[in-house]
């Protein structure tokens, strides 16, 4: 049984090392790849104002956050919630860096000490879709995830969208599985055989342009996967 937490944060700016802080945490829980509805969401008083550029992204005013709890007040609840789970984050280094800095201020160990692992969906997307835009909005458009309600960034909404994106990106063979009825005796199932020996399949050769495009795509995939492209491996075997 697998417990995963899809997580997103909003911050006062782009640099945790230079004093920017977390202002919102949104988490949704997946259990065996199904949304449980057991979410975690907090607005946080960052004890500083957001940069103007950050305000344009998240739209959370400094005044709104003044009476919200500080990170220290929600840290225990957050750590209990993520304990032992796999975290799924888009551009994980950013969010984890900010959360680690918040934990460091409280004299607590980094996030990796509490969770089983961290999966970066941005890295996954770059490998799956090399050379393409892989922002959360772009992935929603590409994978058919409805993000029509998303005008500004919001941590909980983004976590919910990312959960859908992650399921689409990792379904793999799930989409190919056929449902088999279990109320029949396997010995009674009849399989009809077809004689294909008399059928001659035509062989369609790729044009030079198609071959060149194929090679270019393989080169991009090989670069994105760090030399792990299966076609290249077979060619060199």
How high is the pLDDT of residue 181? 41
Closest C-alpha to 35, from 74, 72, 6: 6
Residues 167 and 114 in one domain: yes
The structure tokens listed for 228 are 């792990």
Residues 140 and 223 in one domain: no
CB 162 within 8 A of CB 29: no
The per-residue pLDDT for range 62-84, each reduced to its tens digit, is 999 999 999 999 999 999 999 99
Residues 219 and 133 in one domain: no
Number of domains in the chain: 2
Mean pLDDT, the chain, integer: 86
Range of the domain at 215: 207-237
Residues 153 and 60 in one domain: yes
Residues 145 and 234 in one domain: no
Residues 215 and 156 in one domain: no
The residue with greater pLDDT, 155 or 193, is 155
Residues 99 and 34 in one domain: yes
Helices and strands: H and E segment counts in the chain: 9, 6
Element (H, E) at 23: strand 22-31
Residue 201 maps to a domain = no
The residue with greater pLDDT, 235 or 191, is 235
pLDDT classification of 209: cutoffs 50, 70, 90: confident
Cα separation, 22 vs 65, whole angstroms: 11
Continuous H helices in 44-201: 52-58, 62-65, 71-82, 92-105, 121-128, 136-143, 155-170
Cα separation, 43 vs 24, whole angstroms: 4
CA-to-CA separations, 43 to 24, 27, 146, 154, 176, in angstroms, rounded: 4, 12, 25, 10, 41
How high is the pLDDT of residue 180? 40
Rg of the chain over all Cα atoms, to the nearest angstrom? 24
- DSSP E strand boundaries for 157-219: none
User: Which residues participate in catalysis according to the annotation?
Assistant: 153
The per-residue pLDDT for range 115-173, each reduced to its tens digit, is 999 999 999 999 999 999 999 999 999 999 998 876 666 899 999 999 999 999 998 54
The structure tokens listed for 157 are 């909404």
């Amino acid at each position: 049984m697998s417990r995963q937490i899809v997580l997103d944060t909003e911050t006062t700016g782009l640099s945790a090392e230079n004093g920017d802080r977390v202002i919102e945490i949104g988490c949704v829980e997946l259990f065996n790849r199904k949304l449980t509805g057991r979410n975690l969401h907090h607005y946080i008083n960052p004890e500083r104002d957001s940069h103007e550029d950050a305000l344009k992204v998240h739209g959370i005013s400094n005044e709104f956050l003044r009476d919200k709890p500080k990170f220290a007040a929600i840290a225990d609840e957050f750590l209990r919630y993520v304990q032992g789970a796999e975290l799924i984050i888009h551009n994980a280094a950013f969010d984890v860096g900010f959360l680690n800095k918040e934990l460091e201020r409280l004299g607590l160990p980094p996030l990796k000490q509490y969770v089983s692992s961290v999966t970066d969906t941005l890295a996954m997307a770059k490998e799956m879709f090399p050379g393409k835009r892989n922002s959360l909005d772009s992935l929603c458009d590409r994978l058919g995830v409805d993000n029509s309600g998303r005008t500004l960034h919001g941590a909980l909404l983004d976590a919910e969208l990312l959960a859908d994106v992650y399921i689409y990106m990792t379904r793999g063979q799930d989409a190919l599985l056929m449902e088999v009825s279990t109320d029949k005796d396997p010995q009674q199932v009849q399989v009809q055989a077809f004689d294909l020996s008399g059928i001659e399949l035509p062989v369609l050769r790729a044009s030079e342009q198609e071959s060149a495009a194929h090679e270019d795509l393989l080169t991009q995939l090989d670069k994105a996967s760090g030399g792990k492209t299966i076609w290249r491996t077979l060619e060199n075997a």
